[in-house]
Structure 1
Amino acid sequence: MAVPEPVLTAARSARRVVVLTGAGMSAESGVPTFRDAQSGLWERYSPEELATPQAWRRDRPFVLAWYLWRFGLVSTVEPHAGHRAVAGWAGADGPEVAVVTQNVDDLHERAGSSEVVHLHGALADWRCEDCAQRYDGPLPSVAEGVDRVEPPRCGACGAAIRPGVVWFGEALPLGPWSEAVARVEDADLVLVVGTSGIVHPAAGLPAIARAAGAVVVEVNPVETEVSDVAHHVWRETAAVALPALVEAARLPER
């Protein structure tokens, strides 16, 4: 796999790299994208009907069953070569590499990345709906066809345990958003991988990075809303492009 020369030049000179990832990154591992994830008994419902505070308040057991089903899906897949390449890029002789992701799975962490900012929360980060205390206790199992599961209760206040994700209509947590902005503003190179660029405010990060002086590279097999913001566009998938880029960046220049 030949790496586009401008992309390789930017990667070799960068000391601080941020990799912004979206649904396309996880899709290559077999995680269905958010709107393609419905199957079986859930195919009658749109994700927007289930991923809202209103839906949770209306029927907690129903929404929880859907999230536990999604949690189970993610647990059956593995990080791909692109995840592993990003995780292995940093090192004694490599750049600082941070991941800012819109994905709620843990594939970057399982690949070995330690600097991961989850803009939209994480499926594994269950918490109390009232006091926000993290919940690390047992989760109910969901058999095929089960559409209602009573949520566990918080040991501190007794309220229901909810998924630690950002629902439609909820603001992004200030901490992860502030860290994401700081990371891209301080970066030399920002790789935008597998994201459509239509979900805000995350979609604004490439423009913030470019305005701050970073080289912005889009890695995506199709044109997106990010394409016009990027300095360079590489029409390839993450699992193919990222290992090739990391390997080439490590080779001595000829």
Structure 2
Amino acid sequence: MPKQLTTQNASITTVAVEVQALTISGKQVTLSVFRQLQEESVVAHDGTLNGVPWGYVNYHPDKCSDDAAHWHIVWQQGAELRRSRVDREPRWKLVDSLEADQLLNASVLSWATDPDSPFKRCPQQANTDAAASRFQGDRRWVHPPTGVEFFVEASPTAVKVATLTTQIRSCKENLDKAPGSVFYRQQMERMEASDGYRIATAQLINEVDGYGRTLSELMEDVSSVAIAEVQRRDRHRMVRAALAQLPQLFIAV
């Protein structure tokens, strides 16, 4: 029996009760030959196919039978055969995009330059108190119209502005509750007058101006990315629906 399975010597034959067997030079392919097929994804990142699927084999060469439901697809790329593991239900990662990061930075600036915006409304969704030495925010952001989740990360300048502005507005809120508090007044005035606060804000203004986009235009950019992601995911679902109709290919034990 030839040692290598190719599109020239491989074929699919129908045996009793419409069982389709994967054969090589007329003989049923064995497990060892099947394992020799190069593993390569038949489904591309964009949700299209990298080649022509032949069928699936109900055999798990990598001892993955207990993993999430999946197929082991035999497929053709040019004149060669490949095998590919494909999860039946696709799993989506957070979308990482420059557009979303720029939108976050611009949103932090818009919030920081609006004196009436509460400190708890910071676009980074602070989860630490105002006295924290390092601002920490939620890096998962959902695009409202599509529901696509983005991984967002503010620039170091935006993080600094968010930190300082949060601290200042926290002091202001406490001062509103206790107008006679000398401590909160001095704290607020000291931070507002600090060179670090003014320099960081000026740097963030320059950074956001460099995008050459308004806040609404940046949102449109992110929406375009989100819509493209929705379309990509739809293609993945359609491809899997087609793969589910492939015949099972039987191989020899």
Common fold: TM-score over 0.5 = no
* TM-score in terms of structure 2 length: 0.28
